[in-house]
């Protein structure tokens, strides 16, 4: 890692409260951590380490005595816990004493948005992980009533937003982001990037609706893993991809 912010002239820490990421070098890159009350998108291809980034974040929260929730779209919650354990993150104690909650967002059930919103409102969580945003944002929703009419001949016919269209997806994601914002927490939201795509999310919209973007990537030819801070509100940061490794204990900067 080069000296990308050795001359940080910006005295933002006085203005911005920071919340530690759980990875020391990343805190240093981000001038102390994520801005509090921010939402950061963690984007990446399969196996790039998005979920492990979330484990660090949760672990740090537990260490700080904060209340945390891990919203998962993967029904195999036991699998996630096991994966965490395998990497040396032991969450069981925190789960037992109520400091950490794992919650499965069952896409097969009606009312998941209300359920999430309610949990976030009453849970008083300091740290929220949503892993991942992509399947939830894909659930077809129906939006109506906001269609502006530009009449040229006096008609006032209205149409629904097409299900699955860009504007519907945008409104849907905005709604999810809004839930998280109102929970007064700092959040990590993971996002799928299909292999071979240069986009920052499958939907190509999420990245415009968050405060920060961390891109996880891997280069099989060179056998390297990369972490790039693509955007972070109120933070002077390098744009340079950083070499990382995933080992016992999780993500390590090289």
CB of 49 or CB of 99, closer to a second copy: 49
CB of 47 or CB of 99, closer to a second copy: 47
The residue length of the chain stands at: 254
CB of 93 or CB of 111, closer to a second copy: 111
The CA-atom distances, in angstroms, between 124 and each of 63, 67, 182 are: 17, 7, 11
The CA-atom distances, in angstroms, between 200 and each of 83, 216, 232 are: 25, 10, 14
Torsion of CA 185, 73, 88, 221, to 10 degrees: -110
CB of 47 or CB of 64, closer to a second copy: 47
SS3 of residue 226 by DSSP: strand
Least Å distance, CB 228 to a second copy, is 5
CB of 36 or CB of 64, closer to a second copy: 36
Least Å distance, CB 75 to a second copy, is 7
Least Å distance, CB 163 to a second copy, is 5
Mark 175-193 as b/e (b = at least 16 C-beta within 10 Å). ebbebbbebebbbbbbbbb
Least Å distance, CB 25 to a second copy, is 17
Strands of 166-223, DSSP E: 186-192, 212-219
Query: Is there a contact between 222 and 238 (Cβ–Cβ < 8 Å)?
Result: no
Least Å distance, CB 16 to a second copy, is 6
């Amino acid at each position: 890692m080069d000296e990308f912010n050795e001359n940080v002239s910006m005295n933002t820490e006085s203005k911005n409260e920071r919340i530690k990421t759980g990875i020391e070098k990343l805190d240093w890159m981000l001038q102390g951590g994520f801005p509090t009350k921010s939402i950061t998108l963690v984007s990446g291809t399969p196996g790039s380490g998005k979920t492990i980034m979330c484990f660090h974040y949760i672990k740090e929260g537990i260490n700080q005595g904060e209340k945390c929730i891990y919203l998962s779209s993967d029904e195999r919650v036991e699998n996630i816990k096991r994966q965490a354990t395998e990497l040396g993150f032991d969450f069981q104690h925190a789960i037992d004493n109520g400091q950490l909650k794992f919650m499965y967002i069952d896409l097969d059930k009606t009312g998941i948005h209300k359920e999430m919103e309610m949990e976030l409102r009453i849970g008083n969580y300091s740290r929220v992980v949503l892993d991942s945003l992509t399947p939830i944002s894909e659930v077809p929703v129906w939006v109506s009533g906001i269609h502006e009419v530009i009449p040229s001949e006096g008609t006032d016919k209205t149409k629904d937003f097409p299900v699955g269209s860009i504007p519907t997806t945008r409104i849907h994601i905005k709604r999810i982001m809004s839930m998280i914002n109102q929970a007064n927490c700092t959040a990590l939201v993971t996002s799928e990037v299909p292999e071979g795509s240069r986009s920052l999310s499958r939907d190509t919209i999420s990245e415009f609706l968050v405060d920060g973007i961390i891109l996880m990537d891997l280069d099989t030819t060179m056998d390297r893993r990369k972490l790039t801070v693509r955007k972070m509100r109120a933070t002077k940061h390098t744009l340079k991809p950083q070499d990382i490794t995933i080992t016992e204990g999780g993500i390590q900067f090289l």
